[in-house]
Structure 1
Amino acid sequence: MLSQSETLARLGARRADFSLDRDLYCDPGVLAADLDHIWYREWLFAVPACELDKTGAYATLQIGAYPVVVIRGADGRIRAFHNVCRHRGQRLCSKASGTTPKLVCPYHQWTYDLDGKLIFARDMGEDFDAAKFGLKKVHCVDLGGMVFICLAEVPPAISDLAPKLTSYLAPSGLAEAKVAFSSTIIENGNWKLVIENNRECYHCGGSHPSLCRTYSDNPRMTAMEGPDSASPDILDHWKRCEAAGLPSRFTNHARMQWRLARIPLLNNAESYTMSTKAAVSKRMGAMPFNDAGSLLFFHYPNTWNHFLADHAIVFRILPISPTETQVTTKWLVHKDAVEGVDYDLETLTRVWLNTNDEDRQVVEENQKGILSPAYEPGPYSKIQEEGVIQFIDWYCGVMTERLGPQPALAAE
């Protein structure tokens, strides 16, 4: 198991524009460092806000060693807490999701209000101060209908992303949406391999026949350098969409931790369906036409997303072990859309259920090869894998900064 100093040395020795050293994809010590310096410190996508559709609706997730519960309070606000009772540490909520009027520990029935306040603890004595034993809070924000959480005591700034994401998502009306279907799978691969695979379509033509009916594997479609620099078809699409009130132009974080851009689908396709037509007859929010393409949004380390005229697809990944990653996908439709009337579930989900399973197989075979002592880092294509290079550069930059020598405190 690599120490943090050994992990830093491997990062320092990496060759630019090449894949990572074998141990960086499978060593337990590296995963521990990833958790400490990225997963426990960055903003993470948790759930779409519409999933928590009523008072007491909650969802749970496991981030490394930390169980977390995200819940909607009586005041309508969504909050997040460490999913740990302040009495003897029992998990409060064991299910993936549900609804509860109060958070009640199943062990000794300590009871918390939906804002985390301890309101009942039997037989604790007259000098017991319940105010000191409220649930521990986790930072939580709702950005345009996407709920992000951060485990850090002091979270990184999110002021650059918040206005952009809220503006770009506004026409999709995520507050007026509902979850039509949810899928969770385990990919037997390192979390970085899952992200790498998502950041390129070099593999799409050979792996994703369903997706390639509507999504172009031409790297020019997603290799953009700025709000006025893209392929002509994308520039034309931006002009059309923005004239109809849809923010569309490429915008990004300075270090490419996140990016937003709306792209057209192939041959004026309307949605990710086998027929290329809309899967849902009732459009999302204020979307003006069916062929608005897909608003692409990613945010490292754990989400990528597609927002179309008729539905949205949100993705969340969470590391389980050095070679296991949980991938959760949710399909969102307008809250008034009726299954069997406005949409057919199989039509809605088929393309991405197929694509997710194909990606799972790709990632798992990738991981099996990397586990071989014969593996050595290979070069990325600067034409096809620019997105992968950007992700690996972001990852290595963040880890190198946080694993490296820390500045000495000034003498008093």
Structure 2
Amino acid sequence: MNQNDLLNMRYSTVQEARTEMSKLLEARPANYSLDAPLYNDPLMFRVDVEEVFQKEWLFVGMTSEIPNRGDYFTVEIAQNPILVIRDADGSVNAFHNTCRHRGSRVCLEHRGKVANLVCPYHQWTYDLKGNLLFAGTEMGDSFDKSQHGLKKAHCKTAGGFIFISLGKEEPQGDFDEFLATLEEYMAPYDVENTKLAAESNMYEKANWKLVLENNRECYHCAGSHPELLNTILEWDDTNDPRAPQDFLDHYADQAAKWDAEGIPHEHKSFGPGKRNRIVRMPLKKGTKVMTIDGEAGCKKMLGNIKNPELGSMRILHLPNSWNHMQSDHFIVFRVLPISAQESMVTTKWFVHKDAVEGEDYNPDRLRQVWDATNDQDRVLGEQNQLGINSVGYQPGPYSETFEFGVMNFLEWYSDTIQKNLKK
């Protein structure tokens, strides 16, 4: 717990925090920001972890990060270490990365490849489906290995995306409908034939909800993101109330070309607050992808794509991911909470698996726009957090024209927390 957490602790028990959180969300005006404890109190943060990050579907990575048998990566979700691995039959599995002997982490590296999973502490050994193979004769004749396999996390994949849930039960709702649409919309990119070209992990001293709120509006873009605005159009979709006619005409022209190539682009959204959303949007006229000059980032286009001007297919998944799919590379973002006022923002860039670094693409060039944008957003988020920590803070109004995406996010957050608190 950091110093700011201690200064902002208002509640003495988790149950007290849960009760007060329910009251605050019940009374919350839909077009106002949240009360300060929901952004900075450590016990309310613990409720967020328990009711959102330990129950809902979370984006963790892409299937092409683990293309072969035994390939794995690890991720930590609010002190819950998780292991994601490709098994012998090609399935993607997720396990709690904690040995069934005495709880040590099994895989210590961020990425790797193994024949079996061997705990470094006492060499308990598991296969790629988590079954315990070896625990040594020291455990005695009565020891039942079948009862001591790695604990599984729920895991689903679609369109190359990997989602997990840490809940005891699989979350209910329309998630499978979203996954079916995601599979359809991602088909042109052939994610299994892509590779990770670059990755960044950015520590941000701000509550995870402030990170998402910042992402859900472009009200701040003109004053903060010159690199991004070289190519991106700030309109959220064709229903954006701010969208001018010249944008709608530009969209119609691009959409006709996408239709001719069989590239899906219609807006699809699912769940309260449009928690899962897919929409393809054009970039500025004369630009192809989100590079500093709008020109190609990789010489090899993805999948069966032929049109370099696919714009950006924006994929939102609450609570922790937004993504940009383009013709020659795509970018995925993942937000994970660390504490009430700390978050980790991970960004990954993917290219065609046959693309050669230094010949077909330059990782620094791929990263340039979003490295700058992420750092600009980090500063905004951290200053936002410091202002909210003040005794002078009180919730302020959102612009329903410019910040409707933030209102959608908080609608989803409020509904989800209140629903899960009642279970």
- With normalisation by structure 1, the TM-score equals 0.94
Shift of 1:218: 4.0
Post-superposition CA distance 1:281-323 (Å, at most 9, x none): 1001111211110000010001000000010000111000000
**Secondary structure, counterpart of 1:42 in structure 2:** coil
Question: Aligned residue for 2:7?
Answer: none
- Which deviates the most, 124-133 or 292-301? 124-133
Post-superposition CA distance 1:346-382 (Å, at most 9, x none): 2111001111111111111111111111111111111
Which residue, 179, 185, 188 being the options, matches 1:171? Answer: 188
Residues in 1 aligned to 2:158 and 2:421: alpha-carbon distance in whole angstroms: 30
Give the letter for the 1:334 counterpart.
Answer: H
Please say if 1:25 is aligned against 2:39. yes
Question: Aligned residue for 2:305?
Answer: 287
Please say if 1:148 is aligned against 2:163. yes
Give the letter for the 1:400 counterpart.
Answer: Q
Shift of 1:224: 8.0
Shift of 1:221: 5.7
Task: Give the number of equivalent residue pairs.
Answer: 401
Question: Aligned residue for 2:52?
Answer: 38
Residues in 2 aligned to 1:161 and 1:58: alpha-carbon distance in whole angstroms: 25
Retained in 2: the 8 A contact 1:219–1:384? no
**Runs in 1 of length 4+ with deviation above 6 angstroms?**
none
**Secondary structure, counterpart of 1:357 in structure 2:** helix
Retained in 2: the 8 A contact 1:220–1:231? no
Give the letter for the 2:316 counterpart.
Answer: F
Shift of 1:98: 1.5
Give the letter for the 1:305 counterpart.
Answer: N
Question: Aligned residue for 2:148?
Answer: 133
Question: Aligned residue for 1:8?
Answer: 22
Shift of 1:32: 1.1
**Secondary structure, counterpart of 2:104 in structure 1:** coil
Residues in 2 aligned to 1:185 and 1:254: alpha-carbon distance in whole angstroms: 29
Question: Aligned residue for 2:133?
Answer: 119
Which residue, 398, 402, 412 being the options, matches 1:384? Answer: 402
1:220–1:115 Cα change, 3 Å: closer
Question: Aligned residue for 2:322?
Answer: 304
Which residue, 45, 61, 66 being the options, matches 1:47? Answer: 61
Retained in 1: the 8 A contact 2:237–2:279? no
Give the letter for the 2:269 counterpart.
Answer: N
- Which deviates the most, 236-245 or 64-73? 236-245
Residues in 2 aligned to 1:298 and 1:107: alpha-carbon distance in whole angstroms: 40
**Secondary structure, counterpart of 1:196 in structure 2:** helix
Please say if 1:223 is aligned against 2:240. yes
Same amino acid, percent of matched pairs: 43
Residues in 2 aligned to 1:265 and 1:214: alpha-carbon distance in whole angstroms: 6
- With normalisation by structure 2, the TM-score equals 0.92
Residues in 2 aligned to 1:89 and 1:39: alpha-carbon distance in whole angstroms: 21
Which residue, 104, 115, 128 being the options, matches 1:90? Answer: 104
1:231–1:389 Cα change, 3 Å: farther
Which 5+ residue runs of structure 1 have no aligned equivalent?
Answer: 407-412
Please say if 1:233 is aligned against 2:247. no
Residues in 1 aligned to 2:264 and 2:361: alpha-carbon distance in whole angstroms: 26
Please say if 1:398 is aligned against 2:419. no
Alignment root-mean-square deviation, CA: 1.6
Retained in 2: the 8 A contact 1:205–1:217? no
Residues in 2 aligned to 1:64 and 1:160: alpha-carbon distance in whole angstroms: 28
Question: Aligned residue for 1:371?
Answer: 389
Shift of 1:36: 1.3
